[in-house]
């Protein structure tokens, strides 16, 4: 193919998008709708995944100590916990450090709430923060830590906390959302492809006479196909660009409003991490769907 012929195909394909005005708009719209639903689902699944991973990592056992435990005993307990095979890490957080951490966690909004507490009135106990290798073993490890109390006469640990019950529930929910989301994403992708191949087929149906004429004057299949490639690709590109713009704008708004509301216990994946992959995915899918749709639809009209 000469470069001039290639330009001709580009020109023809572009012209066809405009010539088939309403059909093109219908195709573009169906791409936008499908990709938009797909995009929203992908964003949702990604965020749920991130949230679940986050939750996994946050599964931590807090062993709160009584206030009058001598340092030597604290070290001894700490060692004993660290020796457990399921445990990956044990940190001692003093009561002062605990207050500081809590303050910074609440941020600017929570500052006033904790201002009244000084080192003497600090309600937070000394804590051993235990991380486990496998999040599902937390309940077992927690009971082992509680059992340590029996070795000491003064029962130095007054409470072991690992978000009993809620952790298990969270695991179940995130797993379900992940699986259902995955099925939805695949299903919607396939549906979008059929929708588009159908729309493009209608436009090609109207042009089958033209294709027949092209074949009669000796056009090769590739020569006939190229403008349709270009047309399908262009329709896909336009559709995916619009979709990307809507997704990016909508997601940015959401990230902003979620981060401003401290009552929500979640934070969304920031735009900078997710923007480029989502846009490239949308454009890739749009091109794929558009080109695939036109290729599949034209195939049977080429056998003249």
Partner 1 sequence: MIEMQDVWKTYPNGAHALQGVSVKIDRNEFVYLVGPSGAGKSTFMKLIYREEVPTKGQISVNGFNIGKLKPRKIPYVRRNIGVVFQDFRLLPRLTAYENVAFALEVIEAPKKIIKKRVNEVLDLVGLKGKAGREPSQLSGGEQQRVAIARAIVNNPSVIIADEPTGNLDPETSWGIMQLLDEINFRGTTIVMATHNKDIVNSMRKRVIAIEEGSIVRDQLRGEYGYDF
Name the site residues for partner 1 (rule: CB under 8 A): 1-2, 4-5, 8, 19, 209-210, 212-221, 223, 304
H or E stretch at 286? helix 271-299
Residue written as token pair 């299903």: 187
Question: What's the min distance (Å) between Cβ of 5 and partner 1?
Answer: 5
Question: What's the min distance (Å) between Cβ of 220 and partner 1?
Answer: 5
Report how far residue 56's alpha carbon sits from residue 36's, in angstroms, rounded to the nearest whole number: 30
- Residue (of 162, 170, 155) closest to 139 by Cα position: 162
Question: What's the min distance (Å) between Cβ of 19 and partner 1?
Answer: 7
- Whichever of 100 and 215 has its CB closer to partner 1, that residue is 215
- Whichever of 6 and 140 has its CB closer to partner 1, that residue is 6
- Whichever of 12 and 131 has its CB closer to partner 1, that residue is 12
- Whichever of 4 and 68 has its CB closer to partner 1, that residue is 4
β-strand pairing of 60-65 with 87-93: unpaired
The two three-digit tokens of residue 282, written as one number: 């949308």
The two three-digit tokens of residue 80, written as one number: 């004993």
3-state SS, residue 90: strand
- Whichever of 7 and 133 has its CB closer to partner 1, that residue is 7
CB 290 within 8 A of CB 35: no
Question: What's the min distance (Å) between Cβ of 236 and partner 1?
Answer: 24
H or E stretch at 159? strand 157-161
Question: What's the min distance (Å) between Cβ of 201 and partner 1?
Answer: 20
């Amino acid at each position: 193919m000469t470069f001039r012929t290639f330009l001709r195909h580009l020109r023809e394909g572009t012209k066809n998008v405009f010539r088939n005005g309403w059909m093109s708009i219908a195709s573009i719209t169906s791409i936008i709708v499908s990709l938009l639903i797909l995009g929203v689902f992908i964003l949702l699944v990604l965020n749920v995944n991130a949230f679940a991973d986050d939750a996994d990592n946050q599964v931590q056992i807090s062993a709160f100590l009584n206030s009058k435990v001598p340092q030597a005993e604290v070290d001894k307990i700490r060692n004993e916990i660290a020796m457990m095979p399921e445990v990956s890490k044990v940190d001692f957080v003093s009561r002062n450090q605990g207050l500081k951490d809590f303050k910074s966690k609440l941020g600017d909004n929570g500052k006033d709430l904790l201002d009244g507490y000084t080192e003497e009135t600090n309600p937070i106990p000394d804590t051993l923060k235990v991380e486990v290798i496998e999040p599902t073993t937390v309940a077992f490890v927690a009971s082992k830590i509680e059992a340590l109390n029996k070795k000491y006469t003064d029962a130095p640990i007054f409470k072991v906390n690992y978000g009993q019950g809620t952790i298990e529930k969270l695991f179940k929910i995130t797993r379900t959302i992940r699986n259902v989301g995955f099925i939805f994403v695949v299903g919607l992708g396939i549906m979008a492809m059929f929708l588009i191949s159908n729309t493009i087929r209608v436009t090609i149906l109207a042009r089958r006479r033209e294709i027949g004429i092209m074949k009669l004057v000796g056009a090769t299949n590739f020569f006939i196909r190229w403008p349709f490639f270009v047309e399908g690709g262009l329709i896909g590109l336009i559709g995916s660009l619009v979709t990307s713009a809507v997704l990016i704008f909508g997601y940015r708004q959401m990230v902003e409003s979620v981060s401003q509301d401290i009552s929500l216990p979640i934070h969304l994946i920031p735009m900078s991490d997710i923007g480029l992959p989502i846009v490239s995915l949308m454009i890739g899918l749009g091109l794929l769907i558009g080109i695939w749709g036109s290729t599949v639809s034209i195939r049977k009209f080429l056998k003249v």
